[in-house]
Amino acid sequence: MTNSPLYYLEKAKTGGWALPHFNFSNAETLRAIVEAAFELKSPLFVGVSEGERKFLGPKQAHYLVTAFREEFNLPLFLNADHTKSLEKAKEAIEMGYDAVLIDGSELSLVENIELTKKVVDWAKSKNPNIIVEGELGYLRGESRIQKVIEVKEEDFTKPEEAEKFVKQTNVDLLAPAVGNIHGIVTESIERLRFDLIAAIKKQVGKTGLVLHGGSGLATNDIREAIKAGIGVVHINTELRVAFTNALKQALNRKTDEVIPYHYLSSVVGEVKKVVGEKIRLFGSVNKI
């Protein structure tokens, strides 16, 4: 087994499947993710956004992942997800994170390229094998349940700008806006543009494509997105929903219980089910 994320990204690209990426903000969610991946023999990324790192602790997240990786002997890669500044990117890189997403999607194209290139250059000088991801285009929404999100035409990533972006930054991965949103919507339909994914993939060549906002998407849409060129799929909100619903049910069943692991074990089980479903959907089973 290799511990290189680049190896598995290339393997996914040539094999026509996608690497899973699951976010966590507590040890219970991470355990559910790792146990499911171990049982299904799937390589994977786990991520912590700036908000998740602030809650859990960036160093604590790194130590937790390292401990689980060693215990389960699993190709488990930690990503500093949605990092907004060079300073926060440097912090994660210095701690030994395997990947960093520098998210300059709210900046102008010129500013986004400038920031992303600085992170790439600095990261690769510290660790040539680290994965650096950039984001281009605007993804609306947040990692929670929302009623309606309107995706506008100007949100979409332009293939020619994607080509310019990857050539000038040398990122390993690119997260485009192709109709996807963060979170789950209940009163509008999330529609991916598979033609746009394919067009962007053609323009960026060997650079891998990442689909953010995978929660709530239809199964067939995920499959078609992978066929069109997506190599990594992010899931966060569906795990949060599974965790919260299972915790509420467990506490309602055991109203006098005060020992956390007595009710959290069932919570881990429910999150684990969701993780397993996504791993099978992405086609990463038995890829170790």
- The mean per-residue pLDDT over the stretch 265-280 comes to 98
Report the chain's terminal Cα–Cα distance, integer Å. 7
Please name the residues in contact with 202: beta carbons below 8 A apart, sequence gap of 6 or more. 159
- The yes-or-no answer on residue 81 being catalytic is yes
> What is the residue extent of each domain of the chain?
5-282
Whether the per-residue pLDDT at 108 is higher than 60: the answer is yes
> What is the distance between the alpha carbons of residues 125 and 57, in angstroms, rounded to a whole number?
25
Please name the residues in contact with 34: beta carbons below 8 A apart, sequence gap of 6 or more. 46, 68, 72, 74, 76
Residue 60 phi, psi dihedral angles, 5° rounding: -65, -40
Whether the per-residue pLDDT at 187 is higher than 90: the answer is no
pLDDT of residue 181: 72
Domain 5-282 has CATH 3.30.43.10: no
pLDDT of residue 118: 98
Element (H, E) at 131: strand 131-136
Place of tokens 């709210």: 106
Burial of 215 (0-12, 13-18, 19+ CB in 10 A): buried
Residue 141 backbone zone (phi > 0: left; psi -120 to 50: alpha; other: beta): left
pLDDT of residue 215: 86
pLDDT of residue 190: 59
For the ranges 145-149, 154-158, 221-225, 266-270, which has the lowest average pLDDT?
Answer: 145-149
Tell me which DSSP letter residue 217 carries: -
> What is the distance between the alpha carbons of residues 191 and 249, in angstroms, rounded to a whole number?
32
Residue 151 phi, psi dihedral angles, 5° rounding: -85, 125
Element (H, E) at 113: helix 109-126
pLDDT of residue 145: 64
193 by DSSP, 3-state: which? coil
Place of tokens 């020992």: 259
Residue 63 backbone zone (phi > 0: left; psi -120 to 50: alpha; other: beta): alpha
pLDDT of residue 228: 97
> What is the distance between the alpha carbons of residues 231 and 62, in angstroms, rounded to a whole number?
24
Determine contact, residues 36/28, Cβ cutoff 8 Å: no
Q: What is the pLDDT of residues 124-171, one digit of tens each?
A: 999 999 999 999 987 765 565 655 566 666 778 999 999 999 999 999
Rounded to two decimals, what is the model's pTM? 0.93
Beta partners for 83? 102
211 by DSSP, 3-state: which? strand
- More confident of the two residues 128 and 189: 128
